[in-house]
Amino acid sequence: MAKIKYRYNPELLSFDKVSTNWRDVLKRAILFLVSSLMLGIVYFVFLSSFFTSPKQLKVLQELDRMTFNYKILIQRVDQMTKILNGMEQRDDNIYRTVYELDPVPQSIRQAGFGGVNRYEVLNGYEHSELMIQVNQKVDKLAKQVYIQSKSYDELIERARNQEQMLAARPAIQPIDNKDLTRTASGFGMRFHPIYKVWRFHNGMDFTAPTGTDIYVTGDGVVTQVGFSGGFGNRVVVDHGFGYKTIYAHMSKFAVKAGDVVKRGQVVGFVGSTGDSTAPHLHYEVHKNNTVVNPMYYYNDDLSPEEFALMVELSNSGEVYESKR
């Protein structure tokens, strides 16, 4: 049975019966719903500001674990980078030196990544900086590993060719000079005998009578034979592995361009052609297109005592050439 409601009428000093229609009921219902919704929103905002839902808590825990894992990954990458840096140092200073290979330039080892921003897709997240840092370190490490692996490939290939490399190395004196008495002008600065000025001498001179045998100092291929200005009659031999030797002022040749020669083979004979003041051999060694002191390659000929004596003789010997 529905309740009957009355309203007090102060003018008539009586209670009047309250009558309701469907419009009033609808208004009350709408007002109740709106009020409840507003109150619910207020409660939700208030509670969510101070309390975390189970779902949010799980997401936050996952985020904390991810951040921790990223930091652990950075530490591991840093440790691996230190190990790789040590491998690079040994590679450049030991392994590549033993096999006479130039060190890998740091500009290549430490080169960055060009082009567009590789990590742009990682921007806009709460831990974007951390994510980008990890990816940068991993990418750099991966590139260093790749370059180091290529260096080891080169070392392996050189090791396989070690026998040929040792045979090609200019490791003997170019004329018979066991007692070192034929050692003349050495490598380095010397006084020009004609122009009376100091000039750099790119090789070594050996005195010998005209017609004395000249030996190629390592296996190789004859690339040039002929007259060459101040060199006079000259032979050039390419030994491979970055080595090239030059034999100048010859009186006659014993080889022609294209000949394959073996260490100790006669390539010509001592003379005094070109810019020369007396019969002698001018001998040069080039490594990777850079002239080097031939004396440091006579490892098959000289004992330590003989080497010391050759240094002394080459620094005080007579000058026979005018240009080199």
DSSP 196-256: -SEEEE-SEEEE--TT-EEE-SSSEEEEEEEE-GGG-EEEEEEEETTEEEEEEEEEEES--
The answer to whether residues 206 and 183 touch, using CB atoms and an 8 Å cutoff, is: yes
Each residue's pLDDT, cut to its tens digit, for the chain (324 residues) gives 556 666 777 777 776 666 666 777 777 778 878 887 887 777 666 666 666 666 766 766 777 777 788 788 888 888 888 888 898 988 888 888 877 788 888 888 877 666 557 777 777 777 788 888 888 888 888 888 889 999 888 888 878 878 888 889 998 889 988 777 777 777 766 666 656 667 777 888 898 999 999 999 999 999 999 999 889 999 999 999 899 999 999 999 999 999 999 999 999 999 999 888 889 999 999 999 999 998 888 876 666 666 566 666 666 555 454 444
- Who's near 124: CB < 8 A, 6+ residues apart? none
pLDDT in tens, 64-103: 777 788 788 888 888 888 888 898 988 888 888 877 788 8
Side chain identity at residue 238, one-letter code:
D
**CA-CA distance, 7 to 173, in Å (whole number)?**
133
What does residue 170 show for φ and ψ, rounded to 5 degrees?
Answer: -75, 85
The answer to whether residues 183 and 177 touch, using CB atoms and an 8 Å cutoff, is: yes
260-261/266-270 β-pairing: unpaired
Tell the burial category of 117 from Cβ atoms under 10 Å away from its Cβ (0-12, 13-18, 19+).
Answer: exposed
Structure confidence at residue 137 (pLDDT) = 86
pLDDT in tens, 104-148: 888 888 776 665 577 777 777 777 888 888 888 888 888 888 899
**CA-CA distance, 274 to 272, in Å (whole number)?**
7
pTM: 0.57
